[in-house]
Structure 1
């Protein structure tokens, strides 16, 4: 008798498993609405983005990148995990988020290489005897720290876990980037999905602050000491991790609090964000 096919974590059916995403079937894998080429280079949206184009306010992050578009199927999937407590989905959702990291890493690596080539070409004249003197092979860009968006004590009590921490943990294991809880939520903001853009922006203002717990600060300083030589040439590169990007109000509030925390320690921060989905 042939062995039975595994049950897909997404659709619940027994079907041929995907080789790219363990735990889900081939059909569900094919149907994932990946964001491979963001249309908005700031927020990572896959369609036209009036929010970034019309806003004249300074943005506290370099950019956001998201793994998938927030379709009805992805909304149902996130609901299974986040609201109905199906934590078996955490590893595969984390792997999906890792695709967004790979895109961000490639983009930043290419920008670094371009900047280096331009810098070298402005200093060194072209040599016919050494036409390849500008060809370099720099290491891939890598973030220094992952910072998950904290949930309120109310939400943590309801769910029993912080989804951003679980997603970040997958990246830590795959990419070797340490994760630190450098943010704390100052107050419970209620469910954001039913609120307008202006209500979300007002709700999230001052909703986060830097974590000044002595143990956390010791861990942070320990990480900074390890990479001090690199920080003499560039800012500390931090990625904020969350499950979904809607208006960006949460990410912006977190980034502002991180800039202040890192600045108080005498360093500069360059902040990015990764989210599992982009609405």
Structure 2
């Protein structure tokens, strides 16, 4: 660890001794160093059972969901350890739309802990879904990047933000159905010309809703010559039928 890292760690410990962690959801004492109590952590819905191919939440265990059996997705496998439901959605909204760093730390802890439990196939690098420059200026940060950064560090694999570009500013996906989301994202991503691509990558987003964003990114990576593309997310939203 660098001198700067040691100083930061000491500062964090000193701050924690003065201001012990409190649960962001109920205000109870946090568990360990996390701003989340054991009870609220237990309320986070695990994404099991789910489709082994696209991580779609299922009511009963099955190898693949009907949609994947009908149309093979453009990625090899998906990993999304939690279901996007209450109370995870409250913490995610605080982080994504309000810049709450404490909420971001909680999500990072949940993500890294889930990987330690599940250990999906480790890729050569992790690629966060990029924001268009316009959206990045509005929000000030890319939530997918901020969650992917500590996970890549935990895994000891490169975090690559130079292999996928957002080439078109698309309207927000919120409120669009699956077909509209797919149309909205056509031509939204590109791999830079001359990029040195690994054989196996995982593309990461914070939440996988219909999967349109990650599917389009996976298609682009495949067309550019990546041998295997997986998609990862913190959480998967159940589909509305």
Structure 1 residue runs of 4 or more that deviate by more than 4 Å after TM superposition: none
Residue from 224, 228, 232 that aligns with 1:274 = 232
SS of the residue 1:83 aligns to: helix
Q: Does structure 1 conserve the Cα–Cα contact (< 8 Å) formed by 2:75 and 2:228?
A: yes
Residue ranges of structure 2 left out of the alignment (5+ in a row)? 1-16
Indicate how the Cα distance of structure 1 residues 260 and 104 shifts in structure 2: closer, same or farther if over 3 A, else same: farther
Residue 130 of structure 2 corresponds to residue 167 of structure 1: no
Indicate how the Cα distance of structure 1 residues 103 and 189 shifts in structure 2: closer, same or farther if over 3 A, else same: farther
Summarize deviations over 1:112-131 as a string: whole Å, max 9, x none: xxxxxxxxxxxxxxxxxxxx
Distance, in Å, in 2 between the alignment partners of 1:25 and 1:91 is 14
Residue ranges of structure 1 left out of the alignment (5+ in a row)? 109-141, 225-235
Summarize deviations over 1:40-90 as a string: whole Å, max 9, x none: 1111123259x9513533321112111211113222211100001112322
Distance, in Å, in 2 between the alignment partners of 1:159 and 1:92 is 20
Residue 119 of structure 2 corresponds to residue 105 of structure 1: yes
Summarize deviations over 1:208-255 as a string: whole Å, max 9, x none: 11133x7xx3xx46xx5xxxxxxxxxxx22111101111111111101
Summarize deviations over 1:176-220 as a string: whole Å, max 9, x none: 0101121111211111121111101111122111133x7xx3xx4
Residue from 236, 242, 246 that aligns with 2:205 = 242
SS of the residue 1:194 aligns to: coil
Summarize deviations over 1:153-179 as a string: whole Å, max 9, x none: 222112110011111111122110101
Indicate how the Cα distance of structure 1 residues 52 and 198 shifts in structure 2: closer, same or farther if over 3 A, else same: farther
Residue 175 of structure 2 corresponds to residue 194 of structure 1: yes
TM-score (normalised: structure 2): 0.79
Q: What is residue 45 of structure 1 aligned with on the other side?
A: 56
